[in-house]
Amino acid sequence: MPGAQAEGGALMTITVRFAPSPTGLLHVGNARTALLNYLFARRLGGKFLLRIDDTDAARSTKAFEDAIYRDLSWLGIQHDLTDRQFGRIKLYSTAFYRLQAAGRVYPCYETEEELDRQRALLKARRKPPIYERGALKLTDEQRAKHESDGRKPHWRFKLSCQKTGWTDMVRGPVEIDTATMSDPVLVREDGAFLYTLPSVADDIDFAITHVVRGEDHVTNTAAQIEIFQALDAKVPAFAHFPLLVGAGGEALSKRLGSLSLEQLREEGMEPMAVASYLAKIGTSDPVEPRLSLDELAKEFAFEKIGRAPAHFDPEELAALNAKTLHQLPYATVAARVNIPEALWEAIKPNLTRLSDAAGLALMVTGPVTPVIEDAGLTATAAALLPPEPWDENTWPAWTKAVGAQTGAKGRGLFHPLRLALTGRGDGPELKKLLPLIGRAKALARLEGKTA
């Protein structure tokens, strides 16, 4: 599907955005937001904008910005457009002046301490702690007095105090009464723009058609819709998905710092395991591995996202990581494992992390120090080793002959041979390993020699 149907029947280009702040590492919650945006755009042939929200100069760093690009690239998410908010202040100022000319913003002189006292008094009177627009009641003389006292105003957007609604692509019909909200602060006392106005101005400038984000932004969306309308701009469609929680249902907000993509990468998680997990948890689809983002995109639909929080379980992700490795074709890992294809196919069913491959490969490449559990059995087995060439039929035929001559069977037959041939009591199927070990090494190990 090349695009989505717009009003009047014309096709429009789907454009979505992911706007992380470079003030920390991307965590699984960030990654899920980026991924759902990307999959939606990919399925409809749309565009994915990466917008670095770096207006907080005090906390934003180049290192964290570089990490965002690195993490998204690792996950396989490619952006069609990119920009940084820091260089777009003129655009935000223009939007602000338009709102000011329309009478939709107003200066406020309360200090943070005064606002805290106001909220405390409202709570004490069992009223919602909503800003009561005291600044609108100031006279010109009172405003001049604040200015002469050195107070710098912060600027709020004047909400309509009416009901604002939209049809959410995840939640269905949503209606927020903006009379229940405080007028949002758009500009701080120091002249810095807060999140709300730059986000709207950028969405207008980049012609964002769909805003896909967590449900913690639902109330914020009502205010932003009013700003879109005040700027005479087309309001994008919205999709608000439930947030991630821990396996036991606890909020992840305080723990997300320990669930960064960087940490998952260092722990050996495969990018497609992480992508598959984040795309499927909290949906009606089973949580199963996919080997490409294109596969995930084809299966993506907002209708599949449930209303309940999505449970993030590190153990479930680790299990999915193993399943992903078991499906990976050799071509996708050849440069990372540096072993022959036949050896990869033999050991991959036993992998939980790709880093396990080096240790398992040693069972073939050696050196292996054999463990001789039953000297008589291994001596007989050595004497009965068939000539090469070997294939997967060699192991069953050979062990059948050894069992017939020694009377050993089951674990009493197979375990001593595994210990002698690999030095380990478990591992990949020996019918696959034996032809790769070869007769010379196998004979040496059966005789108790390191090979």
Helices (H), 328-374: 334-337, 341-347, 356-365
Q: What is the pLDDT of residues 162-197, one digit of tens each?
A: 999 999 999 999 999 999 999 999 999 999 999 999
Burial annotation 149-176 (CB, 10 A radius, 16+ → b, else e): eebebbbbbbbeeeebebebbbbeebeb
Helices (H), 76-161: 89-101, 112-124, 140-148
Pair 348, 297 in one domain: no
Q: What is the pLDDT of residues 257-306, one digit of tens each?
A: 568 999 999 999 999 999 999 999 999 999 999 999 999 999 999 999 99
Q: What is the CATH number of the domain that holds 441?
A: 1.10.10
- Could you say which of 311, 332, 353 is where a domain stops? 332
41 located within any domain: no
Q: Which of 136-150, 256-270, 307-321, 346-360 has the lowest mean pLDDT?
A: 256-270
Pair 327, 385 in one domain: no
204 located within any domain: no
361 located within any domain: yes
Pair 353, 301 in one domain: no
Pair 349, 395 in one domain: yes
What count of other Cβ atoms lies within 10 Å of the Cβ of residue 315?
8
Q: Report the alpha-carbon distance of residue 406 to residue 402 in Å, rounded.
A: 6
Cα 352 to Cα 28, 280, 323: the distances in Å are: 20, 20, 8
Pair 364, 428 in one domain: yes
Q: Token digits for 250?
A: 């606890």
Residue type (1 letter), 73: S
416 located within any domain: yes
Pair 351, 379 in one domain: yes
What pLDDT was estimated at residue 10?
55
Q: What is the domain range of residue 282? A: 245-332
How many domains are there within the chain? 2
117 located within any domain: no
Q: Which of 91-100, 110-119, 135-144, 255-264 has the lowest mean pLDDT?
A: 255-264
- Could you say which of 332, 357, 375 is where a domain stops? 332
Pair 355, 376 in one domain: yes
Residue type (1 letter), 77: I
356 located within any domain: yes
Pair 367, 308 in one domain: no
Pair 307, 354 in one domain: no
Q: What is the CATH number of the domain that holds 303?
A: 1.10.1160.10
Average pLDDT score over the chain: 94
- Could you say which of 303, 332, 361 is where a domain stops? 332
pTM: 0.92
